A and B are shown apart, each in its own frame.
Chain A
Amino acid sequence: QSALTQPASVSGSPGQSITISCTGTSSDVGGYNYVSWYQHHPGKAPKLMIYDVSNRPSGVSNRFSGSKSGNTASLTISGLQAEDEADYYCTSYTSSATLVFGTGTKVTVL
């Protein structure tokens, strides 16, 4: 099972919006709505930001939103803030009844 493809880095200025893509296949992202996104500050535990493609857990800012089209899922962060600077990973359920992570994206707030 190959990792889902994410851009290595995305950057934006405070207040701007950025979008992180997560590309898989019809055997994972495209075939199921079990797509999630995690925010990971180095040295800390990853935090669930989005699940079921577009649902936000309680306590997660509504500046974070998720979507999916075909084999590509996306995470959008609007109103970018300094605290959003972190690594972001997507995950998907697969046809093999396993999970696969994305390659990870480093978000930099300029």
Chain B
Amino acid sequence: QVQLVESGGGVVQPGRSLRLSCAASGFTFSSYGMHWVRQAPGKGLEWVAIAWHDGGNKFYSDSVKGRFTISRDDSKNTLYLQMNSLRAEDTAVYYCARAHSSSWAYFDYWGQGTLVTVSS
């Protein structure tokens, strides 16, 4: 069965960096686009970024563009999110999600999330 397991969250000071990982199993990772989505405490879901299955195309939300980098290692079935220049407003649970087979605009499987807290 499809499994997505995020890791790497924790408490980090403003301005510092953190890298999240998402280990995938149960499907051919290289054939699917992969997203990061976040949810701040008490807030709604917010799309963060996508890496297409070919690895060449990557898109970001305006709120993280230039600070976050999404990448993937298909040999390790792992998705990454490098987060630099972190701000308090980046505090959230970060989920990785698989793009639906019909379109990268949808998510069909999600991980359970990893909490990132940006605080001094």
Chain A interfacial positions (CB closer than 8 Å to B): 1, 3, 34, 36, 38, 40, 45-46, 48, 51-52, 57, 87, 89, 91-93, 96-104
Known: A1-B62, A48-B100. 15 other contacts (CB 8 A): A3-B46, A38-B107, A51-B103, A89-B45, A91-B47, A91-B105, A91-B106, A93-B105, A97-B59, A98-B47, A98-B59, A98-B61, A100-B47, A101-B37, A102-B44
Query: Which residue of B has the minimal Cβ distance to A6?
Result: B44
Chain B interfacial positions (CB closer than 8 Å to A): 35, 37, 44-47, 50, 59-62, 95, 100, 102-103, 105-112
Contact sample, A vs B, 9 pairs, CB 8 Å cutoff: A1-B61, A36-B105, A51-B102, A52-B103, A57-B108, A89-B45, A91-B106, A98-B47, A103-B44
Query: Which residue of B has the minimal Cβ distance to A99?
Result: B47
- Nearest CB on B from A73, distance (A): 13
Determine the distance from Cα of A51 to Cα of B103 in the docked complex, in whole angstroms. 9
**A102 surroundings in chain B (CB, below 8 A):** 44
- Nearest CB on B from A41, distance (A): 12
Determine the distance from Cα of A85 to Cα of B77 in the docked complex, in whole angstroms. 35
- Nearest CB on A from B73, distance (A): 23
The answer to whether A98 and B60 have CB atoms under 8 Å apart is yes
Determine the distance from Cα of A34 to Cα of B46 in the docked complex, in whole angstroms. 17
Which of B45, B111, B112 is the one whose CB lies under 8 Å from A101? B45
- Nearest CB on B from A56, distance (A): 12
- Nearest CB on A from B95, distance (A): 7
**A89 surroundings in chain B (CB, below 8 A):** 44-45
The answer to whether B95 and A45 have CB atoms under 8 Å apart is yes
The answer to whether A52 and B102 have CB atoms under 8 Å apart is yes
The answer to whether B108 and A34 have CB atoms under 8 Å apart is no
**A52 surroundings in chain B (CB, below 8 A):** 102-103
Q: Which of the listed residues B45, B50, B102 has the most CB atoms from chain A within 10 Å of its own CB?
A: B45
The answer to whether B47 and A46 have CB atoms under 8 Å apart is no
